[in-house]
Amino acid sequence: MKNWRLNNINQSAFEKTGPIPRSITKTFEKFKKELEPNSESEIIEEFRVSRYQTAASIKYLILLIAVPLIVNQISRNFIFSPFIDYFWNDNQSDIFLNASQEERAFSELQRFEEKNTFRNFNRTIATFITRVN
């Protein structure tokens, strides 16, 4: 890349606006360049530069997408997961209930279930009555 002559490339961005559209002037400029004796080497050099720029752009775009994904996976699998697995409390303490506590909890659960069933029954009757009227 150090031997490339980049001073003639991308000069169109600095062209002044005039009464003739740039596209027409660019077409004539390209035509004049093709008629010059060393135009083949310039065209080949421009092609090499554009190929290098395209390859560099694609490489950086792939890196821009791939590096965060790879860092995320590596940090999750090799840093955070082992750290969390090591410090996480896997031993769940069993709830201790004696017989009287079990009976009391069971009776409260039955009462709750009966109240819930009664409320649902009342709602269905109320909706039935409102539909009939």
Instruction: Examine the domain organization and report whether 82 and 125 are in the same domain.
Output: no
Identify the domain containing residue 70 by its residue range: 6-87
Total domain count for the chain?
2
In this prediction, residue 13 carries a pLDDT of: 53
pTM for the structure as a whole: 0.41
Tell me the pLDDT of the chain (133 aa) as tens digits.
Answer: 556 665 555 555 555 666 767 778 788 887 777 777 777 888 888 889 999 999 999 999 999 999 999 999 999 999 999 888 888 867 766 777 788 988 999 999 999 999 999 999 999 988 888 888 7
Tokens for 118? Answer: 């009664």
SS3 of 46-109: the string is HHHHHHHHHHHHHHHHHHHHHHHHHHHHHHHHHHHHHHHHHHCCCCCCCCCCCHHHHHHHHHHH
* Radius of gyration (C-alpha) of the chain in whole angstroms: 39
Choosing from 72, 87, 102, the residue where a domain stops is 87
Instruction: Examine the domain organization and report whether 82 and 109 are in the same domain.
Output: no
15 vs 67: CA distance, rounded Å: 39
Residue 1 lies in a domain: no
Instruction: Examine the domain organization and report whether 23 and 66 are in the same domain.
Output: yes
